[in-house]
Structure 1
């Protein structure tokens, strides 16, 4: 056979991709899920306001979102391995500097900017790009559900671990230990080292980055998915960061918050896996609308019913099922409409909207609490946004986009 003839790109095994990808997401998402546990010890020790802490995590989320498309584009172009290694090193550095920061500005630079950039290279956009390139389309939604479930398990596993580290070592040393843990992403990244770039099949349209972006941003379905994902970020990051303080303000023991965050992670394992499985059988837009509507109902019940440890645990369990269950269907729809060639980059742009919502959710939580002494306004805003997201996902069209035939070479 002539060396110039088209060849089929080598592919990683699905098992290898899922094991390594799931382990990386477990670490990356698990570490960040417990950051709310640091709010009170850090602010009390440093004499900062809650808004100062919340602003740093808001910057983290927006930095994660802004860096996401670039990390995704690099992963699409050069493979995920290099992006994952760089992200792991940044993650470890950010956690160490987070513990050493003595000013709110330095804390924002470490906990916000560095860790946010690190997460863009160690979480879903990059991992899902590898899944999209190496897992068959008929199993793609399921595989994305498995990866998201792994991130959920990391949340369940790491919250009690982080709480124990804070209690045993102090909040600063706990961050140093987590910095060492983040470096475990480096050896795992070798399992996602792609043999060669996955190019479009012979005869398929050759698309540039600019053309891919123009096509996506000109698609109404892409715009609607992006709008819905904004709501997801607003809700989950507000709850994840501010729920512990909300419960303590109402006289509940700190252990209630720790248990609640762990329950969110535990039940999210089942929710994200179920969303991935259902995405193989049902219209993904219906799955997304149901998730957002159920979130609005759950939050409404939580803020209107009497607050007890049991009501907190029920709320955490229900929200856990719905927590990251938007991730597999959202990314699967992007792959279904636009293909996998630029999946990491396009997934990064959708996730940017998620992180803009995260920024507003976590920052407004601290800002409005300091202004009013209550989180009530933000809770009800989360409800209204949930209804909005349920509505905007309904018109999404999941059919592959029509492209002109490739021009002759």
Structure 2
């Protein structure tokens, strides 16, 4: 029943969450939204079709301060808070998961470990160049035999004088073929340790993975280490054990909890506009109860996800965020977004299978997002362990 006196709500912000953001946070969101609208959306469908990453966008992304945005300014960072970083991820993934993945890897998986676990010399050498987009990094943890059990790592590093000799392989590595450096985690006689492996080091090679049906506008690669000699000065000195790479993944997963909301918003927006203009049986399909129920459910799920990540971001900024909370949000929000992408594709009918519309592209991308940095099952079991106190892995 219509109410002519009511105020119209924003269909993709039904609880006016934007009003809960600070002026700085709104400015960040608006800036990245404008970049996505003007620079990403006009080209990303073609990039996806051709299977290429838009390299020309890297300087612009860096100029906006989106690389290492949370790090101190002395290392090239913009000193943004966690909510701002989340909004960056949301707006970039509204464009494409591949663009958000590039920024997530550079910021959370490469710059963060150098900042958190590296020496001051490493921070000064690498971070300002990475913030400027002049040095691109990748994160070498997942291996060909399986990704959900990092403790079963095969890549190893042996001490040889003042150097380390690394042998092994990594798989499904975002930015691998672009990277100037790789943050590589390897087993040593003193536990798992991290190393900065530089392109050009003898025995280090990368090979891009093709025939992908997901994250096509992103570079995904294999890394190979054949007796790669790495100086001890390139070892991250301030962490040992799995807490190093898992700490990096918590940072990146936090961004992923926000990103899929952007993809879901893009799908809902396109589906709702199509529903208003697609005429069947002498009326728009948006006038049918079946379609309105689907759109309403999309809006409900997006709203819940938005509230979830805003609280998660506030907890992170207060220093109170726990990994289980990140797992819950990644599980919920990735599932939310992939379901919405599929429903939006259905509303679009046959038109929805082309990249002229975004849902099929977002849906395919989200097949990767729901898998990487902890599958849905892994995160469900993390929450289950928290509830029961029993490890079911």
- Give the TM-score normalised by structure 2: 0.33
- Give the TM-score normalised by structure 1: 0.32
Report 1 or 2 for greater relative contact order, CA contacts < 8 Å, sequence distance ≥ 6.
Answer: 1
